[in-house]
Each structure stands twice: as C-alpha cells, then as structure tokens.
Structure 1
Amino acid sequence: MSKNPCHIALIGATGSVGSSVLDICRAFPEKFKIIFLVAHRNALKMNDLIHEFHPIGAALTDREAASILRTLQSEVSVYETDDDLEYIVTHPEIDHVVFASSGTAAIKALQKALLADKNVSLANKESIVVAAPWVMPLVRRTDQLRPLDSEHNAIWQCLQGEDKETVEEIYLTASGGPFRTYDQKALRHVTPEMALAHPVWDMGYKVSIDSATLMNKGIEIIEAMYLFDLEHTQVKAVICPGSIVHGIVRFTDGTLKMAASTPDMRLAAATALSYPGRLRLSALPQIMPLSVHSLTVQFYPPDEKLFPCLALAKEAARKKGPYPSLLVGADEVAVDAFLRREISFTQISLVIEQVLSSYNDNAPQTLEESLIILERGRERARALIRSAGRCGKERKSYDR
C-alpha cells in the first residue's frame, strides 16, 4: 500500500457492498482510513457514518438528500454534483477508490480515478457492461482495477501469477437463487417477496431479483469478458448451491483452479483492499472459516430454458455492440415493474427479449452513444409494459 493507513474514497457507502467494505475498515483501522463517503440519498445513514469514520468529506448525489444532510451535521463538507464526485476520486489524499454503487452514474468518475492512477476496487457491473471500451483502456497498471464482486474477485485471485494465454475458460458460479428447483408452472406464481428471499446472499432489491432470474450471472459473464479480456465462449456459468466456490479457471493443460470461501462479501473486500497482502480475518469472528474436512461441493449446469434471462445475456455477450447496453436498460425497467407488480416474474425475460429483438441500429462509437442506447432499452421496456395493460393491479413499491 502507498500509505499506512491506505486512504479510501467509498462510492456506495450505504449499500450492502459498501457496508462490507466498511466492516473491513472498522476491523483494521490501522490499515484503512475513510477519507470520503459517497451515497445516493440515505442522509440518516450517511450522517451516522460521518460520526463514526470522520471523513474529510461526504457526498449524496440526490440534491434534496444532500440538503438534509447539511442540516444534520456540520462536521464535514457535503458534496452533491458529478463534478464533486470527480473531485473526490482524484483528490490527492486518496490512494484507493471503491465503487460499490449500482447504475451508470459513476462511470465518468471511474474513468477519472483510473486516469489519476488511483487503485480501484469495482463492484459496479454496469460500468463495465455498458462502458468497457471506454474504461478498460484507461487501466494503467496490472491489478490497478480489482474486482470486488465475489465471483470476479475469485477469478482475479485464480489468475494471479498465471499466463493469460494458458487460460482455456472460466466458470462463474451461481447459487441458483430461490427457485432453482421450481418448474415453469411454479415460476408463474412467484411474488416479489419470494424473489427477494435469497437463500445465500443479503443483497439489494435489484440484484436479488436478477439473481432469482439468473440475469445477474448473465450480466457477470459480459463483465468478465471485458475484465479478463476473454471471448464469450471462454466465460461460462455453473450452479453451485451454497455458493462455497465462487470462481473456477480451467487451464490449457486441463488443470482446474478454484477459489472457495464462506459466502461473505467482506472476504472479497478484504482481498481487494489489502492486495498484494492478505488480512488475518480473525478480527471478524462472525466469519466462519471453511474446513477441508467438511467441504463437499457439487456443480450443476444452469437451466437456460427455465431461466431465459441467462440465455439472453449470453446472446448479448456474443453479439456485443449495442446489445449489452440494451440488456442492462431493459432489465432495469423490467425488474422494477415486477417489484411494482406490473408484470409477472416470467414476463421479465419476455420484456427483455422483445427489446433486444426489436433493435436494429448501429453499435455505439462513444460512451455517450452507449448511454443513449441504454436509455433506449429503458424506454422500449417501459412502452412494452404499458401496452401489457397490467397497471391497475395493487402495487407495493420496493424503492432503493
């Protein structure tokens, strides 16, 4: 690390991944110091974090929430604009920027952080899926960009010290979600409450639904292609109930190398923050270490007919061009509509499929064009949902 402690800016501080990062910082205050905290609109939680970590600045990207935060405390400067975010990630006191937020709002800040030669830990899938051609060329050093999602973090660890040319293929594992044993008839009756009850991970609303449809794994396949510079045929998904194994690499000689651990995001956060060293996580006693004597792991192929979102994402990965951005935009709107009870669980994939099949324009040539295509995916999905005429049903909103 360049400093002891390492100075961190955390984007997405109030979310589930951000909370895992903060747990590591709490456990190792001599190694990590929070300098900036950034979130969207949770002013009350941000106020608590400011009093606990004493950063030099905090930002809420929702302006109304930022105004509320200013009334709650006067300990730090409060920021709110995109220019403020870019100022934070390039601040001279920052060594490491953690992007733990969702969505595409922080893409330009990610670019700025890489250009400023900051170490970056990334748990933001959209930044890579939508903007990889304009993000990945900015990575200046080996391991400057460190994957924070458990599956990509596992692959990253497996590839350390290996020659990329010897990689035959990689496998991203999935728990299978709460409906792994369901049939098509049962899936038609899935409710938002059922889909949010993930059997392994504690995640936000959007990621939980994506995990239930296996779209999350499909999006991760696209992300892995760009992170590790692989062809779509080299990145595969496999079901691992219990999520003990997080990623597998198969090399040209047939050797399999895998990373296994208790399913806890704090482990991935610890490896990304502490690289190239490792932390002794006995400081976090609630993390149960795996025992080799009780380790039993089984793998299953995913059922892409039962969970067509995975197949749709793989097709977008194959086609590249505008399709990853369209996929992300359409999925975002379809998931929100399901949570609001405007469409059924099985209609999520139907909306996305129709958005992808109806597009015939050119591939994006710039980041701005890719973001426009992302919005077109959202707009087309909204139009399809409106035409379905299901908006009169009772709704329960699951806002972030």
Structure 2
Amino acid sequence: MIILGSTGSIGKNACLLAGEHGIKINALACYKNYKELNEQIAKFNPKLVYIKDENLKKYINHKHVFTQIDGMVEFLKACKSEFEGDLLINSLVGFDGLEPSYHAQKLGFKLALANKESLVAGGKFLDTEAINPIDSEHFGLKFLLKSSPKIKKLIITASGGAFYNLSQKELKTATPQMALKHPNWDMGAKITIDSATMANKLFEVLEAYYLYSTKSIDACIERTSSIHALIDFVDGSSTAHLSKTDMKLAIAHAIGLGEKEILENVNLLELKSIKFRPINLNKYRIFALKDEVLKNPDLGVIINAANDETVYKFLEGKAGFLDISENIFKALDKFGSSSIKSIEDVFEINQKVREFCKGI
C-alpha cells in the first residue's frame, strides 16, 4: 500500500498494522517530519517517498524522493507506473488532501480516506462508493450497514471536546493550550481544535452524506467515546457500534484486515455509564449549520477554508476561540451563493475564502 501522511497518527498506526500483518508498503509521503520518515524508510524499504518541503529533501535517506517542486500528482503517477492496484491511504491534514484523493481515484488506486476535507470540499467529484472511510464514526456506520434493513437515520457521536463543561462566557478567553486537551483521543492540533468547536462533527455529517447517500443524519454528545455511531432503521430497530478509542480498528478494516483480531473487545461489565445528550447549538454555533449544509453541500468548501485559516490563527495566538465560528459565518455571508460546477471551482473558491479570512 501507499501511505500519504505517514508520520501522523493515522499514518503511524497504518505502518504498525502493516508491520504486524506483513503488508508491503511501496510508498510513503509526509509534510516535514523527516526524522520519522527516515525511520519508516529504514523499516519498510519503500520504492518511492515524498516530503513536501523541498529544503528537507537532502535529509531523506532514499534515492527516489519527490517534493512539492515535483508535485504530489507526479508522485502518484510515478507510484502508478511502479506498482499496479495498490491501496492508497490518504491521511494528509487539510485541504491539501483533496488533490491526491481526486487523482488517486482517477489513476485507479483504491482509496482509504482519513482526510475529511476531500469529502467536505470535493465530495461531489469523488467516487464515494469506492472509498474505505478511516474515521471511527464512518467506519462504525459502514460496519453497522452490513446486510442491513432500510435506514431511517444515521447518528454519529461527539465527545464535546475540551470545552464541553465551559460556559459561553469562559470560551471568550479560551487558549490554544486549553483547547488541545481532548478528553479521549490523541489527535493532531487542528482536528483537536475542530473537536472543541464541533466543526469536526459538522464535517463528519457532510462526509456521511457523501459516503452513504442520505441526508437523514444527526449527531449527539457521548462523552466517553465508547459508542461511535448509531443507526435507526425504518422497522423501529436501532443499533450501535462500540469499541475502544483506538483508530487502529478503523484503519485495519480500511486496508482489508477486518477478519483479524485488532483490539480487545469492550468489556460490557466494566463499561462506564453512557449518556446521550443533544448538541447545544448556541454554544457550538458551527454545528448549527448542519441542516443548511445538507441542503447545499457546496457550502462545505467555504466552511472548511474559513475554519482552516482561523484555526491556525487561533493556534498562533492571532485570533480568539470564538472568532473561528464568527469568521465562518462572515465567509458564508460573502461567498455562500457561489456556484461549484467543477473541481477547478473548488480550488478557486477555497483560495478566495482563505484570502478573505486572512484579511479579517
């Protein structure tokens, strides 16, 4: 298989599973963590590697290194010419993941997707039926949908993030250090902030729409993160997916290890008290956009770009926590009537929204 984003949490877990189950890794790609990449090269001996930062190429212990000068698409084309029929894991962070997702499918790779932005911004231009989702919620939904009766509603769960117990007044002075303390998951900075604002859950609703072709999707708070997804069926029955909070399970199914023992089962006798609560739309303003986004999924590219720019401003201390949602609504007011008819339109609107948010 090929792993894009190999030095991140998903990528490292994918490498771990590959090593344990004898799966050949033919290519690795990362942003700038050259030390971790070199360790992976030494262990898995990939044929091709990619590091985005051209200045770091000289540190990579490999003969065939691509960078952003060559381009990710050229890297994927080289992979295609070297090895046919590979599974490609895309766990890149942010909007940069859309282009490789789009071209990976065009080139015939089987796509295992952990990059939310590919679907949020460009889902209408991807073959969503051919995607193996790597997200605990969407894996849970896919698992529950095996040989299932007709769906009434899909439900995904949210932990509530680091600020669930904070008041609206306290959020005004929330710091990046506070926001990065997720109660259940060990994730990167960007997605941890998205969890605190509930932007992450809005994106997952839109992902579920593209993956499972229904607009009957909702989310609720489940603080332990033991239950990742639920489904109501039209016959009146409901079902839930439970597992430990470990992304190796979703990754394993995405790469064809669904029949292997990956994790220990949840001990039901030791399970914490589980309660489901509604999402407070006054506190989590971004999630209040759910119904509007499901009516017009093209808004995803605008929301993603505005969120992306402002989250990084927040992490750099250049914006307040509440500015994240505020800038999303400002961007929607300005660009919400934009028409997206091609993949090129996605990239154009993405750039315009980012420039607008940089100027706020």
User: If the TM-score is normalised by the length of the shorter chain, which range does it land in?
Assistant: over 0.9
- Cα 1:95/1:82, change in 2 over 3 Å: closer
The aligned amino acid for 2:163 is F
The aligned amino acid for 1:79 is F
Asked if structure 2 preserves the Cα contact closer than 8 Å seen for 1:86 and 1:108, the reply is no
Q: CA RMSD in A?
A: 1.8
Q: 1:52 aligns with which of 34, 39, 43?
A: 43
The aligned amino acid for 1:298 is K
- Cα 1:326/1:119, change in 2 over 3 Å: same
Q: 2:228 aligns with which of 241, 246, 249?
A: 246
Q: 1:173 aligns with which of 157, 163, 166?
A: 157
**Distance across 1 between alignment mates of 2:302 and 2:20:** 40
1:182 is aligned to: 166
* 1:357 and 2:333 matched: yes
Q: Give the length in aligned residue pairs.
A: 355
Q: Deviations over 1:273-301 (max 9, x none)?
A: 125x42112xxxxx553112223422111
Q: CA deviation at 1:85?
A: 2.6
TM-score (norm. length: structure 1): 0.84
1:85 is aligned to: 75
Q: 1:145 aligns with which of 119, 131, 150?
A: 131
**Distance across 2 between alignment mates of 1:190 and 1:23:** 36
Q: Which runs of 5+ in 2 are unaligned?
A: none
More divergent stretch after superposition (216-225 vs 94-103): 94-103
- Cα 1:60/1:314, change in 2 over 3 Å: farther
**Distance across 2 between alignment mates of 1:101 and 1:82:** 12
The aligned amino acid for 2:170 is A
Asked if structure 1 preserves the Cα contact closer than 8 Å seen for 2:156 and 2:218, the reply is yes
Q: CA deviation at 1:94?
A: 4.6
**Distance across 2 between alignment mates of 1:25 and 1:360:** 43
**Distance across 1 between alignment mates of 2:78 and 2:242:** 35
**Distance across 1 between alignment mates of 2:194 and 2:162:** 11
Asked if structure 2 preserves the Cα contact closer than 8 Å seen for 1:89 and 1:113, the reply is no
Q: CA deviation at 1:360?
A: 5.0
* 1:20 and 2:13 matched: yes
TM-score (norm. length: structure 2): 0.93
Q: 1:99-138 counterparts in 2 under 5 A?
A: 99-136=90-127
Q: Taking every aligned residue pair, what percent have the same amino acid on both sides?
A: 28
Asked if structure 2 preserves the Cα contact closer than 8 Å seen for 1:329 and 1:374, the reply is yes
Q: 1:312 aligns with which of 266, 276, 289?
A: 289
- Cα 1:102/1:314, change in 2 over 3 Å: farther
Q: 1:61 aligns with which of 27, 52, 66?
A: 52
**Distance across 2 between alignment mates of 1:360 and 1:308:** 17
Q: CA deviation at 1:126?
A: 0.6
Asked if structure 1 preserves the Cα contact closer than 8 Å seen for 2:48 and 2:79, the reply is no
Asked if structure 2 preserves the Cα contact closer than 8 Å seen for 1:85 and 1:109, the reply is no
Asked if structure 1 preserves the Cα contact closer than 8 Å seen for 2:85 and 2:110, the reply is no
Q: Which runs of 5+ in 1 are unaligned?
A: 1-7, 282-286, 385-400
